[in-house]
């Protein structure tokens, strides 16, 4: 696995606490861009090139996670969820509390099945019934190491599963941030291109709203992940996307409550993919949104496209994706931006 990709996947950065991830991304973008800054909201905004148009690439860098809410008299930690997490994936997970005094390792505990009554076994487990065990014997001992409000991430993991398939924490959407960095390295467009690693996407698409208002681009391209359907229990009518079959071109999100990609942008994406022979898949999303949902409604409306990397086990401690789809995303994004910049520039002459 590429070392930069591994580093980005492993970095901490739940929504609202993205500083560590932002530092890595900023450092990488500085290698290829003319100017990089972190705005007051926490977004990393990089600028490259000159031209009559402004084009924005957005990839959110926040990840789902937890936050310390309460410490019991026996030293166990209760928590709230940050972002959309299925309670069932939390049981027995290893976590890292990002304390000001240093990382504190723990694991999520639950009443064992041996002691559960029959009615308890039939009831869906809730995160409010779970706790984090850091090995403390008292409330005082725990509070000497952590504070209420400390962010909690799943234990970092990243590596190669098999062949082109890789796994890691925070695949949604650090793999998109990695792709954005690679796009900016390769991009040569007659335009002012902004790469934005947005914050707080998982809790309301917030960073996309503030950054796109500031930049006010002529065109925006969002890089994110989407649900792969090539695992058991997912039917093809729910998702027909497969790892390794190419970048996903999103047409509509959340049955229309999210971004609805315009015909003009759809044809631009499809045209570039076909002209360059880039593998792609079509993605119609019934649930879930990307930063595109906020960007395309900003100001007087912004032409916006969404390219997504199919991913298994989204919003869990470990996701799985194909580097082939990452490469296809980078190549298509580069082609789309360069074509839009060239065509629009000609029209403005």
Of the candidates 280, 313, 48, the one whose C-alpha atom is nearest the C-alpha of residue 165 is: 313
In the numeric block, which tokens belong to residue 207? 């960073």
The residues, ordered by sequence, that sit 6+ positions from 207 with a Cβ below 8 Å of its Cβ are 41, 42, 43, 60, 62, 196, 198, 199, 200, 201, 291
Q: Which helix (H) or strand (E) holds 75?
A: none
Our measurement of the distance from residue 308's CA atom to the centroid of its chain's CA atoms, rounded to an integer in Å, reads 10
319-322 sheet: strands from edge to edge: 158-162, 165-168, 319-322
Query: How far is residue 291's CA from residue 306's CA, in Å, rounded to a whole number?
Result: 9
CB atoms within 10 A of CB 93: 17
The β-bridge partners of 52 are none
Give the residue numbers marked as catalytic: 201
β-strands 192-198, 54-60 pairing: parallel
């Amino acid at each position: 696995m590429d070392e930069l990709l591994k580093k980005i996947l492993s970095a901490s950065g739940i929504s609202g606490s993205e500083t560590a991830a932002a530092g890595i991304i900023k450092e990488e973008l500085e290698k290829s861009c003319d100017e990089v800054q972190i705005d007051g909201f926490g977004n990393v905004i990089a600028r490259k090139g000159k031209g009559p148009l402004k084009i924005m690439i957005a990839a959110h860098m926040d990840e789902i996670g937890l936050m310390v809410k309460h410490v019991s008299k026996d030293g166990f930690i209760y928590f709230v969820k940050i972002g959309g997490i299925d309670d069932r994936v939390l049981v027995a997970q290893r976590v890292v509390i990002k304390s000001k005094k240093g990382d504190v390792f723990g694991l999520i505990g639950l009443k064992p099945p041996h002691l559960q009554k029959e009615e308890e076994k039939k009831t869906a487990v809730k995160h409010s019934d779970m706790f984090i065990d850091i090995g403390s014997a008292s409330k005082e001992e725990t509070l000497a190491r952590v504070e209420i409000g400390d962010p909690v991430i799943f234990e970092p993991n990243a590596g190669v599963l098999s062949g082109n398939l890789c796994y890691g924490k925070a695949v949604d959407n650090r793999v998109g941030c990695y792709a954005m960095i690679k796009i900016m390295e390769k991009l040569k467009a007659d335009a002012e291109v902004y790469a934005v690693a947005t914050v707080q996407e998982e809790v309301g698409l917030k960073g996309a709203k503030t950054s796109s208002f500031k930049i006010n681009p002529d065109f925006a391209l969002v890089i994110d992940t989407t649900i792969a359907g090539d695992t058991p229990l997912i039917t093809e009518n729910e998702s027909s996307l497969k790892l390794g079959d190419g970048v996903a071109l999103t047409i509509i999100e959340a049955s229309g409550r999210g971004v609805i990609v315009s015909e003009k942008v759809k044809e631009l994406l499809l045209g570039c993919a076909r002209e360059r022979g880039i593998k792609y898949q079509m993605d119609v999303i019934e649930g879930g949104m990307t930063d595109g949902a906020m960007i395309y409604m900003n100001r007087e409306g912004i032409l916006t496209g969404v390219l997504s990397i199919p991913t298994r086990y989204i919003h869990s401690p470990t996701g799985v994706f194909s580097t082939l789809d990452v490469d296809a995303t980078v190549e298509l994004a580069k082609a789309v931006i360069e074509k839009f910049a060239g065509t629009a520039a000609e029209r403005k002459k």
